[in-house]
Structure 1
Amino acid sequence: MEAEPKPSGSPTKGGWITFPFLIATMAGLTLAAGGWANNIIVYLINEFHIKSIDAAQIANIVNGCTALFPILGAILADSFFGSFAVISVSSFISLVGILLLTLTATLDPLKPAICENRSTLCMAPSKIQLAVLYASLALSSVGLAGTRFTLATMGADQFDKPKDQGVFFNWHFFTMYAGTLVSVVGIIYVEDNVSWGLGFGLCVAANLIGLVVFVVGRRKYRLLKPQGSPFTGLACVVVAAFRKRKVLLSLKGEDYWQEPLAGGTKLVISTPTNSFKFLNHAALITQGDNTSNNTIKKPWNLCTLQQVEDLKTLIRISPLWSTGILLSTPLAIQMSLVVLQALSMDRHLGPTFQISAGTMMVFVMLSTSISLALIDRFLLPAYQKLTNTPLTPLQRIGVGHVLTVSGMAISAVVESKRLAMARSHDLHGNSVVPMSAFWMVPQLVVVGVGEAFHFPGNVSLYYQEFPKSLKSTAAAMVAMFIGIAFYLGTALVGFMRNTTGWLPDGINDGRMDNVYWVSTILGLINFGYYMVCSWRYEYQNVEKTDLSCTSPC
Structure 2
Amino acid sequence: MEQEAKRKDGKDEGRDGEKWVHDSSVNHKGKVPLRASTGVWKASLFIITIEFSERLSYFGIATNLISYLTNVLHQDLETAAKNVNYWAGVTTIMPLAGGFLADAYFGRFTMVLLSSLIYLLGLSLLTMSEFIPIIKPCNARVCHKPRKIHEVLFFLALYFISLGTGGHKPCLESFGADQFDDDHLEERKKKMSYFNWWNFALCCGLLLGVIVIVYVQDKVSWGVADLILTIVMAVTILTFYMGKVYYRYRLPVGSPLTPLLQVLVAAIRKRKLPYPSNPSLLYEVPRLKLSQGRLLCHTSRLRFLDKAAIVEDRENASTEKTHNPWRLATVTKVEEMKLVLSMIPIWLTSLIFGVGVAQASTFFVKQAATMDRRITHNFDIPAASIYSLTAVGMMVSVTIYEKILVPFLRKVTSNERGINILQRIGIGMIFSTLSMVAAACVEMRRLKAVEKEIMQGGKQVALSMSVFWLAPQYLINGLGDGFALVGLQEYFYDQAPDSMRSLGIAFYLSVIGVGSFLSSFLIIIVDHITRKGGKSWIGKDLNMSRLDNFYWMLAALNLLNFCAYIFLARSYTYKNVERGILVPDCPKSDEADLIV
The TM-score by the shorter chain falls in which range? 0.7 to 0.9
Q: Return closer, same or farther for 1:296/1:348 CA change in 2, 3 Å cut-off.
A: farther
CA distance in 1, matches of 2:214, 2:317: 62
For 1:513, the equivalent position in structure 2 comes to: 548
TM-score, with structure 2 as normaliser: 0.77
Is the alpha carbon distance of 1:316 and 1:166 closer, same or farther for their aligned partners in structure 2, counting shifts above 3 Å? closer
- Distance change in 2, residues 1:93/1:494 (3 Å): farther
Change (3 A) 1:430 1:215: farther
Cα pair 1:68 1:482 within 8 Å, conserved: no
Question: What amino acid is aligned across from residue 194 of structure 1 in structure 2?
Answer: V
Whether 2:227 is the aligned partner of 1:201: answer: yes
Q: Secondary structure at the match of 2:464?
A: strand
Output the CA distance in 2 between the equivalents of 1:158 and 1:435: 49
Residue matched to 1:394: 422
2:216 is equivalent to residue 190 of structure 1: yes
Aligned to 2:114: 89
Q: More displaced, 445-454 or 474-483?
A: 474-483
Amino acid at match of 1:227: V
Q: Which residue of 2 aligns with 1:119?
A: none
> Residues 521 and 51 (structure 1 numbering): CA distance in 2 closer, same or farther, change over 3 Å?
farther
Residue 154 of structure 1 aligns with which residue? 175
**Which residue of structure 1 aligns with residue 435 of structure 2?**
407
Which residue matches 2:99?
Answer: 74
TM-score, reference length from structure 1: 0.83
Distance of 1:53 and 1:410 partners within structure 2: 28
Tell me: CA distance 1:28–1:459, structure 2 relative to 1, closer, same or farther (3 Å).
closer
C-alpha distance in 1 between matches for 2:485 and 2:441: 25
Alpha-carbon distance change, 497 to 145 in structure 1, aligned in 2, over 3 angstroms: farther
Looking at structure 1, the residues matched to 211 and 324 of structure 2 have their Cα atoms a distance apart, in angstroms, of: 57
1:525 is matched with: 560
Structure 2 vs 1, CA of residues 167 and 503 (structure 1 numbering), >3 Å: closer, same or farther? closer
Alignment CA distance shift 1:370-1:168 (3 Å): closer
Q: CA–CA distance in 2 between the matches of 1:530 and 1:336?
A: 26
Partner of 1:433: 463
Post-superposition shift, 1:131? 5.1
How far does residue 289 in structure 1 lie from its aligned partner after superposition? 4.8
Answer yes or no: is the 8 Å Cα contact 1:156–1:168 preserved in 2. yes
Among residues 302, 306, 309, which one is paired with 1:280 in the alignment? 306
Q: Match of 2:454, SS?
A: coil
For residues 454 and 223 of structure 1, the distance between their equivalents in structure 2, rounded to whole angstroms, comes to: 28
Picking from 142, 156, 163, the partner of 1:135 is 156
Q: 2:511 aligns with which of 457, 481, 490?
A: 481
Residue number among 534, 539, 545 corresponding to 2:590 in the alignment: 545
Distance between the aligned counterparts of 1:413 and 1:360, measured in 2?
A: 18
User: C-alpha displacement at 1:484, in angstroms?
Assistant: 1.8
Amino acid across the alignment from 1:523: N
Quote the Cα distance in structure 2 between the aligned partners of 1:493 and 1:270. Answer: 44
List alignment gaps of at least 5 residues for structure 1: 117-121, 264-268, 549-553
5 Å-filtered alignment, 1:314-325, equals 314-325=340-351
| Kept in 1: contact 2:54–2:233 (CA 8 A) | yes
Q: Which amino acid aligns with 2:224?
A: L
The 5 A counterparts of 1:231-270 are 231-247=257-273, 250-251=276-277, 256-262=282-288
Question: Which 10-residue stretch deviates more, 493-502 or 370-379?
Answer: 493-502
Once the two structures are superposed, residues 475-503 of structure 1 have per-residue CA deviations (whole angstroms, 9 ceiling, x without a partner) of 44322322221222232234434554333
1:412–1:513: 8 Å Cα contact kept in structure 2? yes
Q: In structure 2, what is the Cα distance between the partners aligned to 1:136 and 1:219?
A: 32
Distance 1:281 1:41, change over 3 A: same
Aligned 8 A contact 2:193 2:402 in 1: no
Query: Matches of 1:409 and 1:271 in 2, distance apart?
Result: 43
Q: Give the Å deviation of 1:204.
A: 1.8
TM-aligned CA distance change 1:412 to 1:292, over 3 Å: same
Residue 417 (1) aligns with residue 445 (2): yes
Alignment partner, residue 201 of structure 2: 175
Report SS of the residue matched to 1:48.
coil
Which digits, 9 at most, give the CA deviation of each residue in 1:279-330, with x for residues without a partner?
A: 2332233476564643254322321122222322333343233211111212
CA contact (8 A) 2:177 2:194 kept: yes
Question: Identity of aligned pairs, percent?
Answer: 30
Matches within 5 A, 1:298-447: 298-382=324-408, 390-426=418-454, 432-447=462-477
Task: Write out aligned runs for 1:458-469 (5 A).
Answer: 458-462=488-492, 465-467=495-497
Q: Cα 1:509–1:131, aligned 2, differ >3 Å: closer, same or farther?
A: farther
User: Counterparts of 1:96 and 1:137 in 2: how far apart (Å)?
Assistant: 10
1:208, 1:356 → 2: CA distance? 27
Aligned length: 539
* Secondary structure in 2 matching 1:349: strand
Give how far 1:402 is off: 1.8
TM-superposed CA distance for 1:206, in Å, is 1.8
Matched, 1:22 2:42: no
1:7 aligns with 2:27: yes
How many Å separate the matches in 2 of 1:3 and 1:442? 45
Q: Is 1:47–2:75 an aligned residue pair?
A: no
Whole-Å Cα distance in 1 between the matches of residues 412 and 251 of structure 2? 47
**Quick one: distance in 1 between partners of 2:542 and 2:145?**
20
The match for 1:38 is 63
Contact 2:203 2:394 in 1 (8 A): no
